[in-house]
Structure 1
Amino acid sequence: MARYKAAVVIPAKNAMQVLPQVLDKVLAQRTAWPFEVIVIDSGSRDGTKEFLRAESRIRLIEIAPESFGHGRTRNQGVAAADAEFVAFLTHDAEPVDEHWLAKLVEAAERDERIAGVFGRHIAYPSASPFTRQDLDQHFRGFLQHPLVVHKALDAEKYQRDEGWRQFLHFYSDNNSLLRKAVWEKIPYPDVEFAEDQLWARAVIEAGYHKAYAPDAVVYHSHDYSFTEQLRRAFDESRNFTKYFGYRLSPNPRQAIAAMGKFTWQAFRQRLDPAYGPVTFTDRLSRAAQRIALVSGHCLGANHSKLPQGLADRLSLDNRLFKS
């Protein structure tokens, strides 16, 4: 019998700008049962480790930077957790209210076949209007389907429809919770990217269910620079090709056409007034981000054709694992 109903695991590195606020929200969670909080620090140099060592309510696990892996480190956190359920946050994902954790567990307890639950993300108030709208639209789309999904909903569609498979294995460890008994059979893969979606695909194909908890909400958003967006899109596309066989924007001519389309949209699109006024700078940044996104996807889908040195310079993953 596990000691706790749930544990919250947060991988962290050089996170002092955001982690204290995140932990304040986590420790303030209101539940009918006790929970533990585990932070795994991989070599912080900005005071994060010292802050965590002084916090008696946090269980700190320190690992060497070179031992970090997205799947490997989360496996370490789950193994350390003495809990029935293990929730994940990234160190920059802040629960919106005091009921975030209870809502994730509530969703998981609806059916013992539910292996994992993911919650909703909303943008930080400081995010651009486009980022706020993108996140809202993305997570609103999950409400068009059952909150609990599994392969048997339409096994034939799962075999033939790539988009349906992508939908079924969408999962985000920025805001998620898994059932430890399932993890003991199907742990996270030790990969450099998409450990969460690879795990979700594995449990879906094993016959388990996945749930969406729209009321378990975190603030989590980024307004990337052109270079950041390009590199992240490159890794996303390269690894989706590697692990899932999906090629994002592989045709250079189509990619150029898409860049033109997205640039036009950036300067012409009308946003809901609820997202606030849209400045020329917002539109210029949006155009640059969309160009970087499509460029990165195209380069990533064709990474095998690039000189190895260029591919290494483009990849944030390689920089992470070599640092």
Structure 2
Amino acid sequence: MSIPESSTPHPDATAGAIKASIVIPMKNPGPVFRQVLAAVCKQQTSFAYDVLVVDSGSTDGSVEFVQTFVDPRVRLIQIKPTEFGHGKTRNFAVANTTGEYAVVITHDALPVDEHWLQAMVRTADADSRIAGVFGRHIAYPNASPYTKRDLEAHFANFAVEPVVQLTDRARYDQDESYRQRLHFFSDNNALLRRSVWQTHPYPDVDFAEDQIWAKNIVEAGWKKAYSVDGAVYHSHDYALIEKLQRSFDESYALYRLFGYVLSRSFTHMLKTWVAHTMNDLRYARRIGMHRTHLSLVVKMPMDNLARALGHYLGSRADKLPQKLRHWLSRDRRLLLGLPMSNSGGQPS
């Protein structure tokens, strides 16, 4: 894959002058983006950094906000909505920066403190063989208890072994869970080493561009790292239909790109639904959610069913009618600017 040429070089920076370039793809982020940009520009670092926002058609006033934001380190590039692609746009953005590291976050990923950027760079600086770093996600304070629990448990898994590399090829080829651990990556909050990105840019795909990138770099012999201190607030409490669509996209992408089948059969789907629901009921009882979040407990079984059904359908998407497949894809609807259900609780 060719690397895009930089059409808008940084006006003040010379090669090597900027240690880290923060890249933020944006489209109609809503009010949370104002907090994100302010927090990004308040980072306390021992090095110089700059910020590039790439907008792909916002109509909510966010473009005007960036244009009037008073910080010479912040730049804005606007592209047409039809030019956006998850991997394509991130490649374009990184190519239009000069930092030794490109630090990619989404428009609703809010650094938890003023040391987020320093922590991400410190992790990469510790070993020149680290090609990429992903940082911890913490649920927003108003997220549901289920969302908070799931995010905490997910990222706690990586703290046990924060730096990984491919050391056992036979196991990698045979053990799906080992492969998944090695190539998990989230560019909602991530750092890329520019010298590695130049050889291994993002793939131009509609989903999981970050995990394919991580797969490529670990298979090429690079290390991947996790930063517990490089944390951002990032979470979503999806509405029922959105949860179905999001799960469908995840399952379909993992099946197409990696061959993973998240739901092996209809019976497996039902058993998974029942198991998750019983586990969630026990958790709700343990922390007293029937007193504090009764409505969440009541609708939880349907949420779990939507997730299980999305995983089941996603693994079989190629067999579905095209219209149904397109309706089920939340990511496709976002890319095309089609109407979305309202998310509950979190910035989207």
Q: Structure 1-normalised TM-score? A: 0.95
Alignment CA distance shift 1:32-1:220 (3 Å) = same
Give CA deviations for 1:101-157 in whole Å, capped at 9, x if unaligned: 00000000111110000010010000011111111111111122x2110002x3322
With over 3 angstroms needed to count, the CA separation of the structure-2 counterparts of 1:115 and 1:261, relative to structure 1, is: same
Q: Percent identity?
A: 47
1:257 aligns with 2:250: no
Q: Which amino acid aligns with 2:148?
A: R
- CA distance in 2 between partners of 1:274 and 1:93 (Å): 29
Cα distance, 1:290 vs. partner? 1.5
How many Å apart are 1:191 and its aligned residue? 0.3
SS in 1 for 2:190: strand
Equivalent residue runs for 1:1-323 within 5 Å: 1-57=15-71, 58-144=74-160, 146-152=161-167, 154-270=168-284, 273=287, 278-323=292-337
Look up the match of 2:8. none
SS at match of 1:31: coil
User: In structure 2, do the counterparts of structure 1 residues 20 and 277 end up closer, same or farther at CA, with 3 Å as the change threshold?
Assistant: farther
Are the structure 2 counterparts of residues 32 and 275 from structure 1 closer, same or farther at C-alpha, using a change threshold of 3 Å? farther
CA distance in 2, matches of 1:122, 1:278: 21
CA distance in 1, matches of 2:152, 2:210: 21
Q: 1:54 to 1:293 in 2, by over 3 A?
A: same
Q: Write the distance in 1 (CA, Å) between the matches of 2:43 and 2:261.
A: 40
Shift of 1:270: 4.7
Q: CA deviation at 1:304?
A: 1.7
Letter in structure 2 aligned against 1:70 = H
Unaligned runs of 5+ in 1: none
Q: In the superposition, relative to structure 1, how do residues 256 and 275 fare at CA in structure 2: closer, same or farther (>3 Å)?
A: closer
Q: Structure 1's 205 and 278: CA in aligned 2 closer, same or farther, altered over 3 A? A: farther
Any conservation in 2 of the 1:129–1:276 contact (CA below 8 Å)?
A: no
* Matching residue's letter, 1:151: L
Code of the aligned partner of 1:217: A
Q: CA deviation at 1:181?
A: 0.5
SS in 2 for 1:74: helix
Q: CA deviation at 1:266?
A: 2.6
Alpha-carbon deviation of 1:272? 6.8
Closer, same or farther in 2 for the Cα pair 1:272/1:94, shift >3 Å? farther
> What's the Cα RMSD here?
1.7
**SS in structure 1 at match of 2:19:** strand
Letter in 1 for 2:276: F
Q: Would you identify which runs of 4 or more consecutive aligned residues in structure 1 move more than 6 Å?
A: 274-277
Give secondary structure in 2 for the equivalent of 1:151.
coil
Q: What amino acid does structure 2 have at the position aligned with 1:180?
A: R
CA change 1:275–1:11 in 2 (3 A) is farther
Structure 2 unaligned spans of 5+ = 1-14, 338-348
Question: In 1, Cα distance between the equivalents of 2:227 and 2:330?
Answer: 30
Distance, in Å, in 2 between the alignment partners of 1:189 and 1:123 is 28
Contact 2:284 2:290 in 1 (8 A): no
Matched to 1:281, the amino acid is S
User: Cα distance, 1:276 vs. partner?
Assistant: 11
The answer to whether the 8 A contact 2:21-2:98 is kept is: yes
Q: In 2, distance between residues paired with 1:275 and 1:210?
A: 38
Contact 1:130 1:286 in 2 (8 A): no
Counterpart of 2:111, as a letter, is P
Q: Is the 8 A contact 2:290 2:297 kept in 1?
A: no
Aligned residues: 321
Alpha-carbon deviations, 1:217-254, whole Å to 9, x = none? 10001111110000010011111110011011131121
